[in-house]
Structure 1
């Protein structure tokens, strides 16, 4: 739950009380003007009864200002997002809580939360009266078809007195972030290769399977079991060495996402670029659930996770990659030529490439990645409206040693995924 938001009057540096008098409505100002006019006439005509009427007309809006100002300065507000991270096309619930922390009941409360237009219209609520110490809760839903990170807030609260004399606005400065992840498609449980050592379907092996002479020892650390002392290495090094703990060798996969602005046409949730991002996110989640060690690579050289030290927990790695995909945008890069860092990332791994428009030059630029990888599968997402162009792109990628399947609008990644698995099975070891 969010902490109470703090803030003063919205955009007014004249002082709280002066700003409160600035909140007089047309009715309140009319009462003040009528009271002043009645007082002036009473003085000119010598009518004390008219003076009393004038004083009453002026005191009423002033009293409303003072009472409302006291309530206004002691209203607390919270916002709660459930959940704070959603997938594109799903909904999140936003709950607003308002509490009256004074000993006086509040007047009419008008709530308006500021949200980006992509999430819908700005929600407005009306609370009739909040008793001293009372709390009110209202909620609304937001939904986005576009991934991204969207600020929620600030929350604006308008207080009005029962007579309609005064309206005071207060803007709370606190904001919350709603993260909308790319759309995820459920992929069929078929293997695309890239397993550790070329064995199994995403299985694991450990160094315990190796012979004693193949184990790479390390220096003894306080607390190590003496039964794991590697005597041969100890004699060779002249220092106490122990066998390493069993370390799983997980199947590895590198997902390459092409973000070149020149590689894609169109915009919106169904654009080629969004299909590529969605495909990359779906592949990352699918393979991570099957036990793969997954890495995201882009044409700009972005690598997530950025170092081996970050690869500690599969769930954390998937979260890092999904957060990166939620906000990734087009790049100004014009070539897919890999960096040395990218070449190291794909060494011996399954390589999945979600690409834009690819000509012969770009296919040739990808050749070093293909040569370092195990199996290599490309999913070009551009040009699907033109079957001839799609066929041309696939031929160019296949000539460079890739298995290629286009991401057509409406067909979805699951079908292309299954077709790619069939192509790999048909080619056998030649596709590696």
Structure 2
């Protein structure tokens, strides 16, 4: 097949080009010979070769009018280690078969290649799936792409360009088993908040008569039976405060590259801690100071989790802002009673005074240090761990590979997917990774 890159147009387009020029040169030579030196040999060869050109051109015209392709992404939300899957369809509504159809894809997702060749009989449709394991977080595009085919003689080539693209965000993975507890914080500086919450929390304060619109799960059935009237629980607001997660994105302190680098470990910890905070109904926010600062203000719920995951997917460790400056800036965003989790691979101690100022303002700090020696650095930051703890601030040292599952191990385990049995029942099955 022709491997030359295609200049993709800005809109959908079908083009027919001459694939082989030598037969055309021969045809012109025969035509000149038949005119200048008339002979039945030249006439026979000229008619035969002209017939090939005619049949080939009519063939590709049929393909241009009746051969179409489509692709559909099966899952829109994927994370590193998940299986990306697309459904491809080729439809040939013409009277001639497409002996070969090449898929040309300019998708920029790392490790995802859909360069395949299929054949489509006349008046038929074929479908197949293309899968790949997501290897890198980030923002990518599916498409543009094209389908390319030819006549049986290879004289002409028809290309159908599809210029549409689809954005896909590959989120960082979430690890469920973290050796890092969530900080408590304190939303009011006291052990209990006296205001009532409009949402269910872990603190049931009192009961009141049922009102229209109250969720049925709030009904306190023993008291309702005793009073002979429906009674619902009232909830206190959680005493725990908001959580801010600060990621150190200064380029100068990072180690390693790819999934073995400190920035990927930092992103993994940030995503996992944010997901845990959401599960515990905690308001959580994110701050990172790369070349483009990412600030996600505190909020609750799954929507907040997806906002944080999107910010983490686009995060780069290309910043020049030191951790000291990042802490000083974050101090203007957080309020008293808030807890801050600082994730950093640094070994310098210049930022510790800012950590003390946060504590003086009533902001609870927790530090997560990435062990530099475990990331193949000669520099040791265990002394920094001791210095942080001497300030009375919790500090946890995380070694490379301590949190997270290697991508290769996840591939060996396979992936869960849903299938419909012959009886119409939907079951979850584990399928191995292809290839």
| Aligned-partner Cα distance in 1 for 2:64–2:303 | 43
- Is 1:34 the counterpart of 2:26? The answer is yes
Equivalent residue number for residue 205 of structure 2: none
Equivalent residue number for residue 265 of structure 1: 255
| Aligned-partner Cα distance in 2 for 1:206–1:62 | 87
Asked whether the equivalents of residues 328 and 354 of structure 2 are also in contact (C-alpha less than 8 Å), the reply is no
Name the structure with the higher helix share.
Answer: 1
Equivalent residue number for residue 81 of structure 1: 73
Asked whether the equivalents of residues 86 and 131 of structure 2 are also in contact (C-alpha less than 8 Å), the reply is yes
TM-score (norm 2): 0.71
| Aligned-partner Cα distance in 2 for 1:378–1:368 | 15
Deviation at 1:304, TM superposition (A): 4.1
365 and 65 in structure 1: CA distance in 2 versus 1, 3 angstrom threshold: farther
Post-superposition CA distance 1:381-406 (Å, at most 9, x none): 25133697221111232234421111
Asked whether the equivalents of residues 8 and 163 of structure 2 are also in contact (C-alpha less than 8 Å), the reply is no
31 and 299 in structure 1: CA distance in 2 versus 1, 3 angstrom threshold: closer
Q: SS at the partner of 1:259?
A: coil
5 Å-filtered alignment, 1:295-306, equals 295-299=285-289, 302=293, 304-306=295-297
153 and 370 in structure 1: CA distance in 2 versus 1, 3 angstrom threshold: farther
TM-score (norm 1): 0.71
- Is 1:54 the counterpart of 2:46? The answer is yes
111 and 340 in structure 1: CA distance in 2 versus 1, 3 angstrom threshold: closer
Gaps of 5+ in 1: 1-8, 210-244, 415-432
| Aligned-partner Cα distance in 1 for 2:283–2:351 | 27
Deviation at 1:247, TM superposition (A): 8.4
- More displaced stretch, 180-189 vs 280-289: 180-189
- Is 1:332 the counterpart of 2:298? The answer is no
- More displaced stretch, 149-158 vs 49-58: 49-58
Asked whether the equivalents of residues 380 and 404 of structure 1 are also in contact (C-alpha less than 8 Å), the reply is yes
Post-superposition CA distance 1:334-385 (Å, at most 9, x none): 3423355643325312221111214221222333334345532111125133
Equivalent residue number for residue 118 of structure 1: 110
Post-superposition CA distance 1:105-143 (Å, at most 9, x none): 5452111323337224x32222222433x4322221122
Asked whether the equivalents of residues 343 and 368 of structure 1 are also in contact (C-alpha less than 8 Å), the reply is no
Asked whether the equivalents of residues 89 and 143 of structure 1 are also in contact (C-alpha less than 8 Å), the reply is yes
303 and 41 in structure 1: CA distance in 2 versus 1, 3 angstrom threshold: closer
Deviation at 1:198, TM superposition (A): 7.0
Q: SS at the partner of 2:381?
A: helix
Asked whether the equivalents of residues 73 and 87 of structure 2 are also in contact (C-alpha less than 8 Å), the reply is yes
Asked whether the equivalents of residues 27 and 46 of structure 2 are also in contact (C-alpha less than 8 Å), the reply is yes
Deviation beyond 6 Å, 4+ runs, structure 1: none
Name the structure with the higher strand share.
Answer: 2
372 and 76 in structure 1: CA distance in 2 versus 1, 3 angstrom threshold: farther
195 and 303 in structure 1: CA distance in 2 versus 1, 3 angstrom threshold: farther
Q: SS at the partner of 2:398?
A: coil
144 and 303 in structure 1: CA distance in 2 versus 1, 3 angstrom threshold: closer
- More displaced stretch, 316-325 vs 181-190: 181-190
| Aligned-partner Cα distance in 2 for 1:349–1:409 | 29
Residue 391 (structure 1) aligned to one of 382, 394, 409: 382
324 and 32 in structure 1: CA distance in 2 versus 1, 3 angstrom threshold: same
Residue 72 (structure 1) aligned to one of 54, 64, 72: 64
Asked whether the equivalents of residues 346 and 369 of structure 1 are also in contact (C-alpha less than 8 Å), the reply is no
Deviation at 1:407, TM superposition (A): 1.6
| Aligned-partner Cα distance in 1 for 2:172–2:79 | 6
Post-superposition CA distance 1:152-194 (Å, at most 9, x none): 2222211111232222333321122332211321135955322
- Is 1:402 the counterpart of 2:393? The answer is yes
Question: CA RMSD of the aligned region, Å?
Answer: 3.4
373 and 107 in structure 1: CA distance in 2 versus 1, 3 angstrom threshold: farther
Gaps of 5+ in 2: 1-5, 198-233, 406-435
Residue 146 (structure 1) aligned to one of 126, 132, 136: 136
Equivalent residue number for residue 339 of structure 2: 350
413 and 256 in structure 1: CA distance in 2 versus 1, 3 angstrom threshold: farther
Equivalent residue number for residue 85 of structure 2: 93
Residue 309 (structure 2) aligned to one of 309, 322, 330: 322
Equivalent residue number for residue 158 of structure 1: 148
Q: SS at the partner of 1:336?
A: helix
Aligned residues: 355
Deviation at 1:262, TM superposition (A): 1.4
Asked whether the equivalents of residues 250 and 291 of structure 1 are also in contact (C-alpha less than 8 Å), the reply is no
